[in-house]
């Protein structure tokens, strides 16, 4: 099995989060892009301001590596207008995948109508430009019931508004990797949460992000039916190592 083609190699820290200067952080980003090109991963997932840099490096290397970026990251609380503006900018800069953070706090408060609208508009703009769209639901912030409900809501919006041939370009994604949990609880993909997502979002695809720390973890997710895995330890996973995944 070519695990590398499931891996979205990820680096999403700001300079301040990484404890680096802006120049130092850009070097880390460039190294991550170069590694993803060299290793033949599916995609490099980076912050919006680095999309143009990644596309330039990929073109120079004559690589097929895809570039993904995050929209309204990491809290997802911005207006639909802000989300669409960020998505338009990312598309203009050449991003292949748009990973939107759902306004999960609004959903938890009962505003399903807002979620339906942002999912509809965000998916529309992505598909209209032949992009892959992923909706991050932040499983660690949700109860099991809410994971099921939100996965189902996304599926229903997509199935009622788009063609069947579009379904493979829309994902439900587990986590940002940045949500702060209490008492060391998992903040990303776990087997139970991924199973709930698979059972309730199908026929949409699932991306497991956060908490996939080893080759064995990745294989288990793939066996369950996950089509993409977001990780900052892609090289370690691909080489069969057990390395902590630190976003």
Which residues are catalytically annotated? 99, 173, 207
Cα→Cα distances 77→69, 81, 115, 185, Å: 17, 11, 11, 23
198 Cβ contact partners less than 8 Å away, ≥ 6 residues apart: 206, 224, 225, 226
CB 66 within 8 A of CB 96: yes
Alpha helices in 94-241 (DSSP H): 104-108, 112-128, 144-161, 191-201, 215-224, 234-238
């Amino acid at each position: 099995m070519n695990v590398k083609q499931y891996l979205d190699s990820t680096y999403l820290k700001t300079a301040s989060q990484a404890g680096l200067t802006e120049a130092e952080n850009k070097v880390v980003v460039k190294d991550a892009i170069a590694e993803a090109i060299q290793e033949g991963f599916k995609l490099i997932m980076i912050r919006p301001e680095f999309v143009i840099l990644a596309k330039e490096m990929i073109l120079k290397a004559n690589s097929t590596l895809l570039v993904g970026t995050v929209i309204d990251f990491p809290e997802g609380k911005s207006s639909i207008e802000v989300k669409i503006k960020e998505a338009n900018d990312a598309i203009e800069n050449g991003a292949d995948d748009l990973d939107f953070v759902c306004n999960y706090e609004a959903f938890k408060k009962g505003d399903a109508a807002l979620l339906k609208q942002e999912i509809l508009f965000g998916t529309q703009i992505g598909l209209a430009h032949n992009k892959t769209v992923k909706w991050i639901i932040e499983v660690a912030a949700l109860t099991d019931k809410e994971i099921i409900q939100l996965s189902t809501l996304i599926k229903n919006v997509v199935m009622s508004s788009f063609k069947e041939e579009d379904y493979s370009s829309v994902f439900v994604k587990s986590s940002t990797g940045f949500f702060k949990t209490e008492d060391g609880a998992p903040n990303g993909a776990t087997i139970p949460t991924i199973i709930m997502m698979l059972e309730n979002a199908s026929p949409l695809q699932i991306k497991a992000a956060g908490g996939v720390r080893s080759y064995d973890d990745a294989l288990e997710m793939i066996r369950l039916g996950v089509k993409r895995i977001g990780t900052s330890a892609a090289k370690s996973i691909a080489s069969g190592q057990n390395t902590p995944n630190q976003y």
